[in-house]
Structure 1
Amino acid sequence: MTLANNPEAVRRAVRRLRPSLGDRLLTTADDGYEAARRVWNGAVTTRPALLARCLDLDEVRRVLDTARDCDLPLSVRGGGHDWAGRALRPGGLVLDLTGLRRVTMDDVAGTALAEGGVTAGGLLAAARPYGQVAATGVIRATGMAGLALAGGYGPLVGRYGLALDNLLGAEVVLADGDVVTAGPDDDAELFWALRGGGANFGVVTRLRHRLHPLTGVLAGMILFPVAQARTVLAGYREFLPGCPDELTVMAGFLPDPAGEMSVFLAPTWSGSDLAAGDRAIARLTALGRPVASHIAPMPYDDVLGMFDGGMVDGNHYLLRTRWLAELSEPAVEVLLDAALTVSSPYSALAVHHFHGAATRVGRTDTAFGLRDEHLLVEIIAVWPPASRTGQPASAHRDWAERTSSRLAPMALPGGYPNLLGPDEPERVRLGYGPNHPRLIAAKRRYDPENVFGSAVPTLLGTGRP
């Protein structure tokens, strides 16, 4: 349903929610609606009918009940960092968790209880005074719920695994309003499904994360001229098989300040022996003749800050992804050609190394489907609004699609569910491998009407009509 064809449902929802939410319930006519509707990706123009900014569990349940009783399409917004904008549904009711950002530390147990709107940066800031860190992705603004429920590749993946491997439990409001706790000893099947299946089963209001004692890392960025790409990336390919758990190295192509593409290596050494880290990173620096190299000891959350400049709110984004068993010569040629023919000076290509601790989790222990060592390729098309450039969006989409299609013949089946679009259900299925039937069974058990059909990843279509 949409606002255009069901205005009475919207009015009923407003009558139910306005007394308790006040001005935290926003309609399309309210001041603040446009700002609240926006997500990180400026290409997302979806206009929900209502946005309900919740501050506690009771409000979450009330909004969920209202969406069900008024038959309004529901979506849940945590960090709002999904590139496809699935936190918003046209004419729907947005259950907005961005105000739930409390983190409760248990430094003795080495855990943090984070509400559903906590970002990676927020969790790390809470843990930092205790000399502890969480396994995160590479962007501080990303919501930890969305990240940890569907994956979480990051700079600590080799030593501590994916973000979802460090999820110890979750408080979940199911579609019928029941509140359940999912963990190893409490609804273990839901806990299994949440670790890889995303927010497809309910509203996740709190998550318990495992923390790790780590006061700092040795990290930074090494930049090489694009003319050295073949040599540098061939050396990177040869370096990876012997890479210790303590060292995770991203690679790819980034625009420099002049808009020209450079090859980058971004190592993060999390071991206590900094001399060993220096030696390992020196081998990476020697793969070419760097135009810049900035490697230094730093707090872990500063590593994420290195990528903040490439993710600017309001720019337009389209992502494509592939899994590769190795960075073969043909794959290097595809990535290099993409870098040389990039349609926008803001776009980038990133290669993440999945190794170490993440590979030692059993393939069926969580819903996440690929536990063999591999590379995750992100094809990140970024462009300013057309009003500022005059370029059609199709040029940037075509660049991303063409690059993804050329990598497909050498790629592993499926892809990283957290980055796959709603138009790629078959790749989602293949990405879960033998875990997919069990995951679908869990979806039908916990959300039989597909109320959470706009969740990432898309498992059963887009939800109730």
Structure 2
Amino acid sequence: MRAAREDGLPLSVRGGGHDWAGRALVDGGLTLDLSPMRQVSVDPATAVATVAGGATSADVAAAAQRAGLVAVTGTAGSVGMAGLTLGGGYGPLSGRFGLAADNLLSADVVLADGTLVTVDEEHDPELLWALRGGGGNFGVVTTMRIRLHAVPAILAGMIMFRFDVLPDLEESLLRGPDELTVQAGFITAPTGEPVLFAAPTWCGDPEVGMKALHRLTELGEPLTAQVGPTTMPDQLAQIDAMFPAGRHVEIGARTVTALDPEVRQILLDAANATTSPLSAISLHSLHGAAARVPADATAFRNRTPHLMVETIAVWEPGDPAEDQHRAWVRGTDRLPGGYPNLLGPEDTARTAAAFGPNGERLLAAKKRYDPDLVFHAPGAL
């Protein structure tokens, strides 16, 4: 940190390195690469994991699993746990245990002047508040301590439908029981046809859970339906297999509070117009415990039950249709809102709107902890 400042070098921080826009790297400057720092230790007695700054969600899930516990992660194992947490962190357990940011207990942070501080509810609580969903714009998080959880079982799976089932999914996505978090969206089936998918995760009583998952299969006539017991590491690995490294990606992120006719039409138009069979649209649910956190309790403000619509264009290197793939993502711009952790470099207005009244408090924290504006992190004001 001091070297970069003394020599006037642009500075970036790389944790898990999953940012789709590549903002973890900097040309002609200094990148602090934390990705080799992947240590995770678990204290089963306190159900707390100590997570190094470069650890991935898969690293954390595996360590928690060995201790008979689960961690609130994102949906993919390759995502850096620090970046996910600092930006909010939707995931398959959020309905019961909140966002990843809600499970952050404390952190070791190197500030812009090179000093190291440990923040928690008693020490620099304002910085802890900002780190819970305010983005990585206040310092380098070298270590986090996160809350883990004990659950009776994890049940999950994949159900595919025709498009006409979309309206019937709204209840399960936004108003289901805390133990049930459903990710839905559109992918290209092996047949080459676009299909609607529902990927439920249940983290409670297994007998009750199997009934809840079975009810999902009855929303329509499933094209395929595979549900049953699993583990969080296995579930994350399945998503990673769908999005292997090395492909090109552009992402759009919007937020909607209902699957009303207008929203449904925009989603269906996008699903029918996909330009690559590798692309997808994913609806991430915020409901249950994540929606009961007061809007000003953490920097992540949007606690109204909603769906984060992630439009993911994916194509192979050298694909001559790159411009069309990127344009396909922009086709969902008619939807409102945004998720700062996935907004593009030019989405400053949507970022500010997502933080809402919390933005003024975040800017005050920025002035206090980084007055010279050393950090310019994605998803930050």
TM-score by length of 1: 0.80
Deviation at 1:203, TM superposition (A): 0.7
Q: Which residue number corresponds to residue 57 of structure 1? A: none
Q: Which residue number corresponds to residue 97 of structure 2? A: 160
Q: Do 2:52 and 2:142's aligned partners in 1 also have CA atoms closer than 8 Å?
A: yes
Q: Which residue number corresponds to residue 255 of structure 1? A: 188
Q: Do 2:152 and 2:204's aligned partners in 1 also have CA atoms closer than 8 Å?
A: no
Deviation at 1:240, TM superposition (A): 4.1
One-letter code aligned to 1:443:
K
- 1:290 aligned to which of 209, 215, 222: 222
Deviation at 1:99, TM superposition (A): 1.1
Q: Which residue number corresponds to residue 444 of structure 1? A: 367
Question: Secondary structure of the residue that 2:357 maps to in structure 1?
Answer: helix
Corresponding position: 1:118 with 2:50? no
The alpha-carbon distance between structure 1 residues 283 and 215, as it changes in their structure 2 partners (threshold 3 A), is: closer
Q: Which residue number corresponds to residue 405 of structure 1? A: 333
Q: Which residue number corresponds to residue 305 of structure 1? A: 237
Q: Do 2:172 and 2:182's aligned partners in 1 also have CA atoms closer than 8 Å?
A: no
Note the 1:45-444 alignment, pairs <5 A.
Answer: 64-214=1-151, 216-224=153-161, 228-230=162-164, 232-240=165-173, 242-272=175-205, 274-386=206-318, 389=319, 391-402=320-331, 404-407=332-335, 411=336, 414-444=337-367
Q: Do 1:347 and 1:381's aligned partners in 2 also have CA atoms closer than 8 Å?
A: yes
Spell out structure 1 runs of 4+ moving beyond 3 A.
238-242
Question: Quick one: percent identity of the two aligned structures?
Answer: 51
In structure 2, C-alpha distance between the alignment counterparts of 1:264 and 1:430, rounded to whole Å: 30
One-letter code aligned to 2:186:
F
The alpha-carbon distance between structure 1 residues 216 and 302, as it changes in their structure 2 partners (threshold 3 A), is: farther
Can you list the C-alpha shifts for 1:345-379, whole angstroms capped at 9, x where unaligned?
10000001100100111111110010111111000
Deviation at 1:280, TM superposition (A): 1.4
Question: Secondary structure of the residue that 1:257 maps to in structure 2?
Answer: coil
Q: Do 1:216 and 1:300's aligned partners in 2 also have CA atoms closer than 8 Å?
A: no
In structure 2, C-alpha distance between the alignment counterparts of 1:248 and 1:308, rounded to whole Å: 19
Deviation at 1:260, TM superposition (A): 2.6
Q: Do 1:151 and 1:368's aligned partners in 2 also have CA atoms closer than 8 Å?
A: yes
Deviation at 1:101, TM superposition (A): 1.1
Q: Which residue number corresponds to residue 18 of structure 1? A: none
Can you list the C-alpha shifts for 1:245-282, whole angstroms capped at 9, x where unaligned?
0000111101223443211000001012x222122112
Deviation at 1:182, TM superposition (A): 1.1
One-letter code aligned to 1:397:
R
In structure 1, C-alpha distance between the alignment counterparts of 2:5 and 2:193, rounded to whole Å: 50
Question: Secondary structure of the residue that 1:336 maps to in structure 2?
Answer: helix
Deviation at 1:214, TM superposition (A): 2.7
Can you list the C-alpha shifts for 1:119-173, whole angstroms capped at 9, x where unaligned?
0000111111111011000000100000011111000010000000000000000
Structure richer in helix, relative to its length: 1
Deviation at 1:296, TM superposition (A): 0.7
Question: Secondary structure of the residue that 1:418 maps to in structure 2?
Answer: helix
Question: Secondary structure of the residue that 2:156 maps to in structure 1?
Answer: strand
One-letter code aligned to 2:225:
S
Deviation at 1:301, TM superposition (A): 2.0
Deviation at 1:310, TM superposition (A): 2.4
Deviation at 1:333, TM superposition (A): 1.5
One-letter code aligned to 2:67:
Y
Q: Do 1:259 and 1:346's aligned partners in 2 also have CA atoms closer than 8 Å?
A: no
In structure 2, C-alpha distance between the alignment counterparts of 1:216 and 1:122, rounded to whole Å: 20
Question: Secondary structure of the residue that 1:318 maps to in structure 2?
Answer: strand
One-letter code aligned to 2:344:
G
One-letter code aligned to 2:134:
G
Deviation at 1:84, TM superposition (A): 1.0
Larger RCO (alpha carbons 8 Å, 6+ apart): 2
Corresponding position: 1:456 with 2:378? yes
Deviation at 1:458, TM superposition (A): 3.4
Deviation at 1:241, TM superposition (A): 5.1
Deviation at 1:432, TM superposition (A): 0.4
In structure 1, C-alpha distance between the alignment counterparts of 2:379 and 2:172, rounded to whole Å: 33
TM-score by length of 2: 0.97
Question: Over aligned residue pairs, what C-alpha RMSD do you find?
Answer: 1.2
In structure 1, C-alpha distance between the alignment counterparts of 2:182 and 2:174, rounded to whole Å: 12
In structure 1, C-alpha distance between the alignment counterparts of 2:186 and 2:283, rounded to whole Å: 9
One-letter code aligned to 1:398:
A
One-letter code aligned to 1:253:
F
Larger CA Rg, structure 1 vs 2? 1
In structure 2, C-alpha distance between the alignment counterparts of 1:93 and 1:241, rounded to whole Å: 43
Q: Do 1:80 and 1:87's aligned partners in 2 also have CA atoms closer than 8 Å?
A: yes
One-letter code aligned to 1:84:
A
Deviation at 1:429, TM superposition (A): 0.5
One-letter code aligned to 2:23:
R
* Structure 1 unaligned blocks of 5 or more: 1-63, 460-465
Question: Secondary structure of the residue that 1:118 maps to in structure 2?
Answer: coil
Aligned length: 381
Question: Secondary structure of the residue that 2:122 maps to in structure 1?
Answer: coil
Deviation at 1:305, TM superposition (A): 2.1
Q: Do 2:15 and 2:54's aligned partners in 1 also have CA atoms closer than 8 Å?
A: yes
Q: Do 1:133 and 1:300's aligned partners in 2 also have CA atoms closer than 8 Å?
A: yes
Q: Do 2:36 and 2:54's aligned partners in 1 also have CA atoms closer than 8 Å?
A: yes
Q: Do 2:153 and 2:204's aligned partners in 1 also have CA atoms closer than 8 Å?
A: no
Q: Do 2:300 and 2:355's aligned partners in 1 also have CA atoms closer than 8 Å?
A: yes
